[in-house]
Structure 1
Amino acid sequence: MSLRWLLRLPWVICLALLVGCEETPTGRSQLALVPETLMARMGEDAFEQLRHRQPVSGNASIDHQVQCVARQVVAAAEARYPAADLPEAWEVVVFEDASPNAFALPGGRIGVHTGLLQVAETPDQLAAVIGHEVGHVLADHGNERLTQQLGIKAALLLVGIFADGDLGQQQLMQALGLGAQLGISLPFSRAHEEEADLMGLAIMAQAGFDPQQSVALWRNMAAAGGGQPPEFLSTHPANDSRIDALQQGMEEAVATYRAATPADCSG
């Protein structure tokens, strides 16, 4: 069995699997094979581990604002994407952490770092972040990414077993691993981020938060973050690319916002 044919084999398998693809809420084709019950259990376990490792914020004012924004964002997400596979309930926790970050896990767990409130200066900007993270959950990005990683590992194992010895198994595996990382994993991760950005924009607008504040948020992020790695070596789009993509969806989002009841999480 030749090495050239084996290198093609994983892609033949992938193409066969793609026949059964589903679609994300935005209509993008998606391969997500891990059972949702397992994804939810993994999300719950990961969240509990974080609770034990990371202190929870005792700032009642910050917690009130985050809970208010999250509650309205989740309600808008459910209204905007009713066909999505939604968690039965959402849990929101503010963690005492200086890094400007937030995350959402399968099963409906949302974590917000206190440091994010130093960058997301208004409830509208906070809604942009939480809307983005809820978008990841609704689009099942965690499942897609896990499915993808398992597929890459299986393909590399297959090639490693049957590779011709004259190339050197270790060198071949390293080369294929790098190719898979740059050619598959990172672009898919950027696609997830871009999709979550646009879903988050639509969600925050429907919730009554000003979508134009999403651009202000990423400008704040750029100012706080300093230098970034080259975009082709990053799992996240560059800040300028992110802002450009948001601007393209802004007209529709602003129209949605003007028709919505204004959100009030300032008090």
Structure 2
Amino acid sequence: MKKIVLITALFIGVSACKVNPFTGQKTLNFYPNSQIFPTAFAQYDQFLGKNKVLTGTAEARMITRTGQRISAAAERWLTANGYPGYLSDYKWEYNLVDNEAVNAWCMPGGKIVFYTGILPITQTETGVAVVMGHEVAHALADHGAQRMSAGALQQVGAVAGNVAIKNSQKREMFNQAYGIGSQVGLMLPFSRGHETEADRIGLQIMAIAGYDPYQASELWKRMKANSGGEAPPEFMSTHPSNDTRINNLAVWAPEAAAEAAKFGVTAFK
């Protein structure tokens, strides 16, 4: 078991080398943009080719407009805080896809999709900006690469355990315990941490873009109502609970407004 701990610690020490500019903290990321972005771009194009992308409509234009405003605000923030050129490898794209799912997502490098099913809940461009800010934040913070890195470490731990444990019965017990323990104790909290981080970063970026950060908690109240209260316990989920997000966003809204004021933005849409 000591070997497993040492191997995992070595990987973490080597890989935690890229700094998140928004938090100042090192991140678990050993996939460079040059490796992950081309694959993400190709997968994004494949997805668009297999789905109905809406263009030329008022809603499609709103998605693009909101995304452009928020990514431009992100670049303003990064440049002002000592990270000029941070987004040089990003290829921002924002598409609306005809799908009833209440969802939006972002791939590494800035490739974003909104489903039409989320628009009745966002209701306004500001509502779209809340979701867009969150998705842009995932791209800014390299969350996709971090998830891949964490998954790789999880696999390393499993392999190390199977190599170290010679007794087949004990190895089977280890695999069961490791699978559940690493998922509930490490991977799910890791994912929830990303979602919380994206909420906070996204709130600031949307405010700098001129969208009202105080509306973010209102959006999540609508998301909660839409879910009908059906959700797994937070510790078993990849996302924080709706109540946690509502409370967090309400607390962080004044901070986001203050950050926007540094860029001369004192009135919001």
Asked if 1 retains the 8 angstrom alpha-carbon contact of 2:63 and 2:96, the reply is yes
Match of 1:152 in 2: 154
Unaligned runs of 5+ in 1: none
Amino acid in the other structure paired with 1:255: A
Whole-angstrom CA distance in 1 between matches of 2:6 and 2:120: 49
Matched, 1:238 2:235: no
1:21 is matched with which residue? 17
Tell me by how many angstroms 1:110 deviates.
1.1
Quote how far apart the aligned CAs of 1:15 are.
4.9
Aligned equivalent of 1:78: 75
Shift of 1:166: 5.5
Query: 2: distance between equivalents of 1:43 and 1:262?
Result: 36
Gaps of 5+ in 2: none
Offset at residue 257 of structure 1 (A): 4.7
Instruction: Kindly indicate whether residue 42 of structure 2 is the aligned counterpart of residue 48 of structure 1.
Output: no
Which residue identity does 1:21 align to in structure 2? Answer: C
Matched, 1:169 2:171: yes
Aligned counterpart in structure 1 of residue 254 of structure 2, from 241, 247, 251:
251
CA distance in 2, matches of 1:252, 1:162: 49
Q: CA deviation at 1:256?
A: 4.1
Secondary structure class of the residue paired with 1:110:
strand
Task: Select between 177-186 and 51-60 the one with higher mean Cα deviation.
Answer: 51-60
> How many percent of aligned residue pairs carry the same amino acid?
33
Aligned residues: 260
Q: 1:141 aligns with which of 127, 140, 143?
A: 143
Q: Distance in 2 between matches of 1:207 and 1:12?
A: 40
1:170 aligned partner, one-letter code:
E
Distance in 1 (alpha carbons) for counterparts of 2:8 and 2:109 = 31
TM-superposed deviation, 1:206: 0.3
Normalised to the residue count of structure 2, the TM-score between the two structures is: 0.89
Residue identity in the other structure for 1:248:
V
CA RMSD of aligned residues (A): 2.0
- Gap change, CA 1:74 and 1:15, over 3 Å in 2: closer
- Residues 115 and 15 of structure 1, relative CA distance in 2, 3 Å threshold: closer
Contact 1:22 1:31 in 2 (8 A): yes
Q: TM-score, normalised by structure 1?
A: 0.90
Write out per-residue CA displacement over residues 136-184 of structure 1, whole angstroms, 9 at most, x where no aligned residue.
1111111111111011101211211221316432332121111111111
Question: More relative contact order in 1 or in 2 (CA 8 Å, sep 6+)?
Answer: 1
Change (3 A) 1:10 1:225: farther
Separation in 1, partners of 2:37, 2:4: 34
